[in-house]
Amino acid sequence: MSQKDSFVKFEKVDKSYDGEILVVKDLNLDVPKGEFLTMLGPSGSGKTTVLMMLAGFETPTSGEIYLDGNPISSIPPNKRGIGMVFQNYALFPHMTVKENLAFPLEVRKMQKSEIDEKVGNALAMVELQDFGNRMPLQLSGGQQQRVALARSLVFEPRLVLMDEPLGALDKNLREQMQYEIKHIHERIGITVVYVTHDQSEALTMSNRIAVFNDGKIQQISSPDVLYEKPNSSFVAQFIGENNQLKGKVKSINGENCIITTESGDDIQALKINVNNNGDSSLVSLRPERVAINSSENFENNFEAKVKELIYLGDHIRSRVEVCGNDQFIVKIPNSYMGANLKEGATVKLSWKASDSRALDLN
Amino acid sequence: MNQAQTASGPILTTDGIPLKVSLKKAERINKIRAFLLVLPLLVFILITFLVPIGDMLARSIDDRQINTVFPKTFEVYKKWDRQGLPSEEVYKTMFFEVKNSEGYQIGKASTRMNYSKSGWKSLLKKSKRKFKKIEEGPYKEQMIATDKRWADPEYWKALGQMVDPTTMGYYLNAVDLKYDSNKDIIQQKENRRIYNKTWIKTFKVSLLVTFFCLILGYPISYLLATLPLKYSNLLMICVLLPFWTSLLVRTVAWMVMLQQKGVLNNLLVMSNLLADENRWQLMYNQTAVVIVMTQILLPFMVLPLFSVMKTISPTYMRAALNLGASPLHAFYKVYMPNSIPGISAGCLLVFIIAIGYYITPELVGGKDGQMVGNWIAYHLKTTLNWGLCASLGAILLAMMTVLYWAYNKIVGIENIKLG
């Protein structure tokens, strides 16, 4: 792997706090320069620990972390030159916005004029020129977030870490900030490692997403691949909405296989990580890929009973019973056709074999 | 058209009652309920705290006691021009009031008169006895014949300090001043100047105790606030343990520790760090007072510090480190400024308690370690000079008020946090 491809490199990193449980297991990860990498996972999956090891607040129990080719495990956090945005911003409450921004520059013993210029630029970057003399607590959540972002960038670090920085904001502001962070990243081309448990945030912002569970990376790939082609049932479940049909492998035919559900229905599916006939498997299927009463030709066609209809404005979420699963969700666009469904009605569901992915059962 | 009217006139509710009136009505019941909730405590404080304090403060300037014993004498005394000796009339009224009054009243009055001119007490005691033999006037000569002091104008002039129902005499006493016989303010005699020294000592000890409490309490509070809960609870118990032990037991324990043949000195001598004849004098002096009071008052520093530090998010330090500050710099620039409310509260609390402390200096202070509190207790119990007690106490109170005011000006009282 070339130098450019591994600006940040985790090599066989393990981390345990108590000597009994590994919170990070054999982590190998390469982040190329300029990439926006998101670590996504449920709480307790080890993603924040990984970030803290990179920032220097935790030391790896074994293994080594490299930054720009140099091992950094023995470098204290204040010498690493890595910017960080903390979950609750960690703006110093006794300093004004300007003083907060000047802090990293002052500890680097920069000239007063240089500090003023850089602080001014940083404030301009996050469009808070008029707020320099305010105290952090006088700012709204979104403004504080921007100050925290500016502070993490003002000393021009090589790498910025963000630990669920948008978690405390309301939904609209969060979405707006997602775009702002994304645009700043694109503009200055800095490497970002971002931690979140919010999958839509991860999908919006990232070049690549690493899905963590149980101290391990389950899958690392670009957002579209992660959504369209999850390679484990955990990832399929964690990212986006997902229908799961439980069954056993009946036969395998090259890239495809047939899964027999407990109700005796045969489903045509892509073989992802099932290997032998008779293995247990979960067939994963996105709700938006299921057609209702379609006249087109799909590999899978089943009768289903409508159990519940939930009106959601732009679409109608319908829970149906199919192949023995009564938690099967189908999204019906609120067009002329969808409006005619009644609870208790019997409909025909169909989907492509390539949209149903036979995954291992874990 | 209506908008302009509503904007200028008072806003009305739907019933047409002005909004403010309606709001007041709605909130009245809440106010009454709140008042009733605090009423028992209010009454309790009023009776057991405010009234006695008011009474004490009044005593510090009250000089009526003696006026009730010699009302007529003071009446005629006021007409005297304070030259030479008073007239026969003054002597005569004095004679009858001494002769006819009850013994305990003379006692009370003479105690007060002795504060202004020592000698009055014995003079009155003697005269009360001798006056019985005098049947008729003129009285001036006969009185002088019983005791020469009746002819000393100093005694008569001293009475002038007691004519007014109020006096500043006690306050003057409390700072080593007094009235002379012409009612001018002068310094006490050299060998009777004790209070100014005591005031300075009290301040010194209180400041030292506050300082050591801060130095010792800050790190432990930091540890308490940052340790995981299971360890910090244990540590907290250790800090609070002294609270569960009687003050006397702790003080006596220190006496065992610190005296010349005590544990500490013995250990030092045994380990040859100290020659036997050079044992440290750690007991019955100011050093002992500072050591023991620091230990006793430490929790009062730790608790406010801890409760403030608990609210300082550890991410502040992390953020400061992450931004490139060395741990020391991060602590100085980020952690400490955020802990100032706790420092202020702790220091103010310890200082206020220390400055009025009594029992520890009494037990371990010896002669050198006596503080103002000890003098108050001494006058309260031994000399029964309550006026002086009250004035010493009032000066303490005034000092604390000034300190509090200055603190509010410099740091701001909203910066104080006890939790």
With helix as H, strand as E and coil as C, how does chain B read?
A: CHHHHHHHCCCECCCCCEHHHHHHHHHHHHHHHHHHHHHHHHHHHHHHHHHHHHHHHHHCCECHHHHCCCHHHHHHHCCCCCCCCCCHHHHHHHHHHHHHCCHHHHHHHHHHHHHHCCCHHHHHHHHHHHHHHCCCCCHHHHHHHHCHHHHCHHHHHHHHHHCCCECCHHHHHHCCEEECCCCCEEECCHHHCCHHHHHHHHHHHHHHHHHHHHHHHHHHHHHHHHCCHHHHHHHHHHHHHHHHCCHHHHHHHHHHHHCCCCHHHHHHHHCCCCCHHHCCCCCCCHHHHHHHHHHHHHHHHHHHHHHHHCCCCHHHHHHHHHCCCCHHHHHHHHHHHHHHHHHHHHHHHHHHHHHCCCHHHHHHCCCCCCCHHHHHHHHHHHHCCHHHHHHHHHHHHHHHHHHHHHHHHHCCHHHCCCC
Residue B183 inside a domain? The answer is: no
Quick one: pLDDT at residue B325?
A: 93
Judgement on whether residues A17 and A148 belong to the same structural domain of the protein: yes
Judgement on whether residues B248 and B111 belong to the same structural domain of the protein: no
CA distance A233 to A362: 7
User: Taking the CA of residue A192 as centre, how many other CA atoms within 13 Å lie in the half-sphere pointing to its CB?
Assistant: 29
Which of A67, A80, A92, A110 has the most B C-beta neighbours within 10 Å, making it the best mutation to test the interface with B?
A92
Quick one: pLDDT at residue B6?
A: 47
Residue B418 has pLDDT above 70, yes or no: no
Quick one: pLDDT at residue B2?
A: 46
Chain-chain contact of B324 with A151 (C-beta, under 8 angstroms):
no
Judgement on whether residues B248 and B349 belong to the same structural domain of the protein: yes
Ranges of beta strands (E only) in chain A are: 8-16, 22-31, 36-40, 62-67, 70-71, 82-85, 159-163, 191-196, 208-213, 216-221, 243-253, 256-261, 266-271, 280-285, 291-292, 300-311, 315-322, 325-333, 346-351, 357-360
We report the CATH number of the domain holding residue A257 as: 2.40.50.100
Could you read off the pLDDT of A16-28 as tens digits, one per residue? 998 889 999 999 9
Last residue of a domain, one of B110, B142, B167: B167
Quick one: pLDDT at residue A167?
A: 83
CA distance A273 to A255: 11
We report the CATH number of the domain holding residue B234 as: 1.10.3720.10
Q: What is the mean pLDDT of residues A254-258?
A: 86
Judgement on whether residues B319 and B379 belong to the same structural domain of the protein: yes
Q: pLDDT band for B5, please (50, 70, 90 cuts).
A: very low
Judgement on whether residues B207 and B90 belong to the same structural domain of the protein: no
Quick one: pLDDT at residue A195?
A: 94
Judgement on whether residues B360 and B221 belong to the same structural domain of the protein: yes
The answer to whether residues B386 and B377 touch, using CB atoms and an 8 Å cutoff, is no
* SS3 assignment, position A299: coil
Higher pLDDT, B7 or B79: B79
Residue with tokens 């710099």: B329
On chain B, the residues whose CB falls within 8 A of the CB of A82 are: 322
Angle between helices A141-153 and A112-125 (to 10 degrees): 130
DSSP letter, residue A87: T
Could you read off the pLDDT of B361-416 as tens digits, one per residue? 999 988 888 999 999 999 999 988 888 999 999 999 999 889 888 888 877 766 66
- The token duo for B153 is 């104008």
Task: Decide: residue A179, CB within 10 A, 0-12 exposed, 13-18 middle, 19+ buried.
Answer: exposed
Q: Of B324, B327, B334, which is closest to A92 when you measure between CB atoms?
A: B334
Chain-chain contact of B324 with A107 (C-beta, under 8 angstroms):
yes
Last residue of a domain, one of A176, A202, A233: A233
Judgement on whether residues B278 and B375 belong to the same structural domain of the protein: yes
Q: How many residues does chain B have?
A: 419
Could you read off the pLDDT of A295-328 as tens digits, one per residue? 778 888 888 889 888 888 888 888 999 888 888 9
* SS3 assignment, position A353: helix
Judgement on whether residues A190 and A315 belong to the same structural domain of the protein: no
**How many domains, in total, are found in chain B?**
3
Q: Of A56, A87, A107, which is closest to B323 when you measure between CB atoms?
A: A107
Q: pLDDT band for A3, please (50, 70, 90 cuts).
A: very low
Residue B419 has pLDDT above 70, yes or no: no
Q: pLDDT band for B156, please (50, 70, 90 cuts).
A: confident
The answer to whether residues B240 and B228 touch, using CB atoms and an 8 Å cutoff, is no
CA distance B416 to B333: 19
CA-based nearest residue to A247, from A303, A301, A323, A354: A323
Last residue of a domain, one of A233, A250, A285: A233
Residue B12 has pLDDT above 60, yes or no: yes
Question: Mean pLDDT in chain B?
Answer: 87
Residue with tokens 């209180």: B206
* SS3 assignment, position A209: strand
pLDDT > 70: percent of chain A: 97
Quick one: pLDDT at residue B129?
A: 84
Chain-chain contact of B313 with A57 (C-beta, under 8 angstroms):
no
CA distance B239 to B249: 17
**How many domains, in total, are found in chain A?**
2
Could you read off the pLDDT of B226-251 as tens digits, one per residue? 888 888 889 888 888 877 888 888 88
CA distance B374 to A215: 66
Quick one: pLDDT at residue A2?
A: 43
Residue A43 has pLDDT above 80, yes or no: yes
Residue B196 inside a domain? The answer is: no
Higher pLDDT, A253 or A60: A60
Residue B196 has pLDDT above 80, yes or no: yes
* SS3 assignment, position A114: helix
Could you read off the pLDDT of A284-296 as tens digits, one per residue? 888 888 888 877 7
CA distance B304 to B343: 8
Q: What angle do CA B118, B120, B121 make, to 5 degrees?
A: 100
> Mind telling me how many Å the CA of B298 is from chain A's nearest CA?
27
Q: What is the mean pLDDT of residues B110-138?
A: 84
Q: What is the mean pLDDT of residues B254-274?
A: 90
Chain-chain contact of B324 with A76 (C-beta, under 8 angstroms):
no
Higher pLDDT, B135 or A204: A204
Residue A59 has pLDDT above 80, yes or no: yes
Task: Decide: residue A289, CB within 10 A, 0-12 exposed, 13-18 middle, 19+ buried.
Answer: middle
Quick one: pLDDT at residue A361?
A: 75
Could you read off the pLDDT of B330-371 as tens digits, one per residue? 999 999 999 988 898 899 889 999 998 998 999 998 888 899
Task: Decide: residue A324, CB within 10 A, 0-12 exposed, 13-18 middle, 19+ buried.
Answer: middle
Q: What is the pTM of this model?
A: 0.77
Quick one: pLDDT at residue A120?
A: 93
Judgement on whether residues B73 and B139 belong to the same structural domain of the protein: yes
Question: Mean pLDDT in chain A?
Answer: 88
On chain A, the residues whose CB falls within 8 A of the CB of B336 are: none
Which residues, listed in sequence order, are joined to residue A325 by a DSSP beta bridge? A322
Chain-chain contact of B313 with A107 (C-beta, under 8 angstroms):
no
CA distance B347 to B301: 7
Judgement on whether residues A53 and A142 belong to the same structural domain of the protein: yes
Could you read off the pLDDT of A97-111 as tens digits, one per residue? 999 999 999 999 999
Judgement on whether residues B322 and B359 belong to the same structural domain of the protein: yes
B129: containing domain = 67-167
Residue B184 inside a domain? The answer is: no
Q: Which residues of A touch B (CB under 8 A)?
A: 55-57, 76-79, 81-84, 86-88, 90-94, 103-104, 107-108, 151, 155
We report the CATH number of the domain holding residue A128 as: 3.40.50.300
Judgement on whether residues A64 and A210 belong to the same structural domain of the protein: yes
Q: Of B316, B326, B334, which is closest to A78 when you measure between CB atoms?
A: B326
Could you read off the pLDDT of B84-119 as tens digits, one per residue? 888 888 888 888 888 888 888 888 888 888 888 888
Judgement on whether residues A9 and A157 belong to the same structural domain of the protein: yes
Number of residue pairs across A and B with CB atoms under 8 Å?
62
Q: Of B318, B319, B325, which is closest to A107 when you measure between CB atoms?
A: B325
Residue B417 has pLDDT above 70, yes or no: no
Quick one: pLDDT at residue B8?
A: 56
CA distance A339 to A343: 11
Lowest mean pLDDT among A337-346, B48-57, B234-243: A337-346
Residue B135 has pLDDT above 70, yes or no: yes
Residues 6 or more apart from B40 whose CB is under 8 A from it? none
Quick one: pLDDT at residue A262?
A: 85
Residue A159 has pLDDT above 90, yes or no: yes
Last residue of a domain, one of A206, A233, A260: A233
Backbone angles phi, psi at B185, to 5 degrees: -85, 125
A204: containing domain = 3-233
CA distance B364 to B78: 50
Lowest mean pLDDT among A338-342, A357-361, B200-204, B370-374: A338-342
Judgement on whether residues A141 and A246 belong to the same structural domain of the protein: no
